[in-house]
Each structure stands twice: as C-alpha cells, then as structure tokens.
Amino acid sequence: MIHNKRQGIIESKELAKSMRKDILLMTHRAKGGHPGGCLSATDIMAVLYKCFMRIDPQKPLWSGRDYFFLSKGHAVPAQYAVLMEMGFLDKEEIKDFREIEGRLPAYPSCESTPGIDMASGSLGQGLSIANGTALAAKLNNSEQRAYVMLGDGELHEGQVWEAMMTAAHYKLDNVCAIVDYNKLQLDGTVEEVKTLGDLTAKWSSFGWKTIEIDGHDFEQIYNSFAEAMQFKRGPTVIIAHTIKGKGVSFMEDEVGWHCASPTDEQLEIAMKELS
C-alpha cells in the first residue's frame, strides 16, 4: 500500500496498463470472457489495490485484511490481473483462465484462488457479503474495510437494494461500494434494457454518501476512496462513470465486447495501443 498520493497514482497508472494487457491476453487465449466490463473497472481496481487495500500477498487470509468483493463476477480477469501484478498469483497463470486445471475459473471462486474471499457469478450478491464482513469487523473493533464493486446492470437485482438498506441501517462507514457505471449490459444499453433513473438520488435516498466521479481519472478515483475513508456517518458509494472497453479503441463503448474475445489480429492491435 502506497501512502504518498502522487507516487500512488503514478504506480496505479502503470498497474492499470499491465492489467489491461493481462486481461486481453487472458480473454484472447481462453476465447471467452468479458473484456468490456473488465476494462471499464481496471483503473478503479488499480488505485484501490495499489493505494488503499491493506492486504498481504504472502498471507492472503491474514485476519486483519481489507476485503474486496467483485460482485460483477464476470469481470474477474481484471481481478486476476491485479492479483498477478500484486503478487498473489503468478503471471504464468494467464494460460489457466477458464481451463479445467489451474486456479482461474471463469467466475470468482474463493476455494480456488488466493486473494479472492467470495465466490460470485450470480449477480446481486456482493454487497450483502461486504456488509457481513463489515459488521464482523465492527464486532471485533477492527479498522478493516470492505469494498465491493457492482455493475450498473447488476443494480436491477433486488438483493442489492435490500443490502443498501442494511448498510445504511447499521451505519456501516467501513463499507465502500463502487458502481462501474459503463452504461452497457449484455442486451444493450442500460437505458434501453431498464433505466436506472437518477442513480445518485436513489443511493442517497437509501442513506448512503454518494460520490460521482470519472472512473478513468486517477486523481478523482484516489480522492473518492480517500473521502470514503474519512466519512464516518455511514456507507459510501462511488458512482464511477466509465467506458466499457476503455483503453482499446475498437472495444470502447461497444456493447458487443460485453462477452467476446479478441482475434489474433485484434489482440495485436490492442497490445500496440496499450504499449
């Protein structure tokens, strides 16, 4: 964890660049996965892991760790990438994504992968999990924090709104949710499929502190996590406006890249763009 903001942001940017390459290599080799929603989440995860998460790659189950739950589990290549870059996983494991052997299944598995604390793959469940860990931390008088990343389409799931009420009721200032608001889901734009309306007003009316940011502006990402840590009256949500497929020109804002894998030629172009 880097405490110096300027240095932290410099290193987070480098981390994000490496993560994007890893994500493309994983989804290309596996001929499957969800690169669009990985790339929209990358910059946020890079800053969170580099600058805020108290974790130990040598002891993934260290009892004092902060928690990160990827509720939008289909973006797990992004989490594998950050865990590789942070030393929880080996870069050689890129070849294992979605394979029968190895530790990198298509969706998160806490039984398979060091650094992952909960399974996901059925949307809507992560915020409840984060609340449970946060309540436990409070019981233990521990400073541990629970972060959870949700997709925007995922907010259609009713459980999320149940859990929003729970976090607000128990004033869980150690819970920080992030909405990866890339505006696209499998069947089209979120607006077309089922509008979220005024998302900030909705979270706010549920008793959450809301922070709206550009989810690719490292300064804003850093500041939002720092602000969430300082806020002591309840849970905080960071509504991060992002671009699906961010960083790869032909993937950006294209709904088709929700679930697809790059061809050999596309991989070559993408890797050049990221270099």
Partner 1 sequence: MKIAPREAYGQALVELGQENKDVVVLDADVAKASMTVMFKEAFPDRFFNLGIAESDIVGTGAGFAVAGKIPFVNAYANFLLGNGWDQIRISVCYANKNVKIIGHNIGASSGKDGPTHLPLEDIALTRAFPGMTVIEAADGIEVKKAVRALAKHVGPAYMRVGRLPIPVITKEEDEFEIGKANIIRKGKDVTIIACGVMVSKALEAAECLAERGIEAEIINMHTIKPLDTLTILNSVAKTGAVVTAEEHTVIGGLGGAVAEFLACTKPVPMRIVGSPDRFGVCGTYEEIHEVLGLTVANITETSISLVLLK
Which CB, 34 or 216, lies closer to partner 1?
34
Tell the smallest beta-carbon distance from residue 132 to partner 1 (Å): 2
CB of 64 to partner 1, least distance (A): 11
Residue 95 Cβ vs partner 1, minimum distance, rounded to whole Å: 24
By beta-carbon proximity to partner 1, the closer residue of 119 and 274 is 119
Instruction: Name the site residues for partner 1 (rule: CB under 8 A).
Output: 63, 67, 109-111, 117-122, 124-137, 139-140, 144, 146, 158-159, 162-163, 165-166, 169-170
* Residue whose CB is less far from partner 1, 62 or 250: 62
Is the Cβ of residue 166 or residue 242 nearer to partner 1 in the bound state?
166
The residue type at 187: D
* Nearest to partner 1 of 206, 222 (CB atom): 206
192: left (phi over 0), alpha (psi -120 to 50) or beta: alpha
Is the CB of 42 or the CB of 128 nearer to partner 1? 128
Least spacing, CB of residue 168 vs partner 1, in Å: 12
Nearest approach, Cβ of residue 63 and partner 1 (Å): 7
The Cα diameter of the chain in Å comes to: 53
CB of 108 to partner 1, least distance (A): 9
